[in-house]
A = this chain, B = another copy of it.
């Protein structure tokens, strides 16, 4: 491959930043979400240009785009993460906006800024809102100001045992000690009795020192068997902010969401309302625009605590689309084009229950090892209230380069019980061969009493399904 050297900068023809619908949107993503965005654009009458890496050359979803641009070699760092090439692709295709999807550059504030500097609209929140919410301390501060509950804990690091004791007493047991520099469980200690606090701090500091060469620790309230409940937000550029209710994503494995549903079976109407209003307040405080998700953990008593904001569209957005009938991708595009939301909070209605299963090409019996290669048979289910979002078909070749999501199966029914019955039926129908998928695991979960009763917490899957490794 030849080398490129940078030359002089020259002013380019001006894009007129006009507040009307885009003429052509560049899709800076791949797979099912690229397909999802192409579909929304086609229905809006907006042309599409879709980037692709050499690994995705020939993928059938690309045929649905009006234009396609190869942007690099298979590794994401050589293609889907190459912001300059993506912006150049938008330039040569005369795209006036870029939809980043999720993952890759979706929450990269610098990329958003670059797009706008190139007079290409970035379909997502402002770089400022992204930065404010991306920083944990700033986000916590915003939440406090907006009177949104956060997990109680020390304000920053703990200096000595006396302070630790004071904090532990004030927030109440159990607490969790965490390494300030850390992650991955190292330097973590859960304390359930006050007289175990001192030795636990000593152990945590020692572990943190070894792992991170930094003995600083902080303390947080430990939430037992938490549920993951998140609120979908839509905000336009004219100060209208609404929520589209919640999604319960407690069915996780190692913080990877597997099954999402709405409404959450774990919270009552009062909590639902409070949670959703909290999310709107936070979005207002952050001057948030476009689609976003405010994540909370909910304890067994229904207390909820703000965790973080996902400043993008999410994998599980169809769950919300099913119960509200609102197309989130179309709304994202309309908002970015400067349109008003066009609906008030009171106009957002909720109908029935929706469940989504993420179909991953992974072998649950082999520690969820990804299964790349050719899918001989891909036969998704159909019928009433069944939605399939997938770029895969008989003969599709799964690249080992990217995440293992090969499709999303969403079922919408008048009630949660019916949605469970519908999802079971659909999972029974779904044929993917010879690729291993998470479908067999989902069949077990959908028949498990704890799931049926709506009592799942985020540790349920790992505790319950002992996988071979």
Residues of A within 8 A of B (CB): 35-36, 39, 42-45, 60, 64, 318, 321-322, 325, 327, 351-352, 379-380, 382-390, 393-394, 414, 418, 421-422, 424-425, 428-429
User: Would you call B393 and A383 a contact (CB within 8 A)?
Assistant: no
State the Cβ distance, A250 to closest chain B Cβ, in Å: 24
User: Would you call A425 and B325 a contact (CB within 8 A)?
Assistant: no
Contact of A383 among B36, B380, B385 (CB under 8 A): B36
Q: Which residues of B contact A382 (CB under 8 A)?
A: 380, 387-390
User: Would you call B42 and A418 a contact (CB within 8 A)?
Assistant: no
User: Would you call A327 and B384 a contact (CB within 8 A)?
Assistant: yes
User: Would you call B390 and A42 a contact (CB within 8 A)?
Assistant: no
Bound Cα distance from A418 to B40, whole angstroms? 11
User: Would you call A42 and B352 a contact (CB within 8 A)?
Assistant: no
Given A60-B379, A327-B384, A386-B387; 10 other pairs, CB 8 A cutoff: A36-B383, A42-B428, A43-B424, A43-B425, A64-B428, A321-B384, A325-B351, A325-B385, A379-B393, A388-B388
Q: Considering residues A39, A43, A351, A418, which has the most beta carbons from chain B within 10 angstroms of its beta carbon? A: A43
Q: Which residues of B contact A422 (CB under 8 A)?
A: 43
Can you report 17 residue pairs joining A to B where beta carbons are below 8 Å apart? A35-B383, A36-B383, A39-B383, A39-B429, A42-B421, A42-B428, A43-B422, A43-B425, A321-B384, A322-B384, A325-B352, A325-B385, A379-B393, A382-B387, A384-B389, A393-B394, A394-B394
Q: Which residue of B lies closest to A378 (CB)?
A: B394
The 3 closest A-B pairs by CB, nearest first: A382-B388, A42-B425, A43-B421
User: Would you call B379 and A383 a contact (CB within 8 A)?
Assistant: no
State the Cβ distance, A359 to closest chain B Cβ, in Å: 12
State the Cβ distance, A331 to closest chain B Cβ, in Å: 12
Q: Considering residues A44, A379, A384, which has the most beta carbons from chain B within 10 angstroms of its beta carbon? A: A384
State the Cβ distance, A57 to closest chain B Cβ, in Å: 19
Q: Which residues of B contact A42 (CB under 8 A)?
A: 421, 424-425, 428
Q: Which residues of B contact A352 (CB under 8 A)?
A: 325
User: Would you call B325 and A414 a contact (CB within 8 A)?
Assistant: yes
Bound Cα distance from A396 to B359, whole angstroms? 25
User: Would you call A387 and B383 a contact (CB within 8 A)?
Assistant: yes
State the Cβ distance, A95 to closest chain B Cβ, in Å: 19
Q: Which residues of B contact A318 (CB under 8 A)?
A: 384
Q: Which residues of B contact A64 (CB under 8 A)?
A: 428-429
State the Cβ distance, A374 to closest chain B Cβ, in Å: 14
User: Would you call B394 and A389 a contact (CB within 8 A)?
Assistant: no
State the Cβ distance, A80 to closest chain B Cβ, in Å: 22
Q: Which residues of B contact A394 (CB under 8 A)?
A: 393-394
User: Would you call A39 and B389 a contact (CB within 8 A)?
Assistant: no
Q: Which residues of B contact A387 (CB under 8 A)?
A: 382-386
Q: Which residues of B contact A60 (CB under 8 A)?
A: 379
Q: Which residues of B contact A386 (CB under 8 A)?
A: 387
State the Cβ distance, A16 to closest chain B Cβ, in Å: 26
State the Cβ distance, A462 to closest chain B Cβ, in Å: 30
Q: Which residues of B contact A325 (CB under 8 A)?
A: 351-352, 385, 414
Bound Cα distance from A418 to B379, whole angstroms? 28
Q: Which residues of B contact A35 (CB under 8 A)?
A: 383
Bound Cα distance from A44 to B428, whole angstroms? 14
Bound Cα distance from A36 to B42, whole angstroms? 30
Q: Which residues of B contact A388 (CB under 8 A)?
A: 382-383, 388
Bound Cα distance from A43 to B422, whole angstroms? 6
Known interface pairs A382-B388, A387-B384, A388-B382. Does A43 touch B428 (Cβ–Cβ under 8 Å)? no
State the Cβ distance, A312 to closest chain B Cβ, in Å: 18
Q: Which residues of B contact A421 (CB under 8 A)?
A: 42-45
Q: Which residue of B lies closest to A381 (CB)?
A: B39
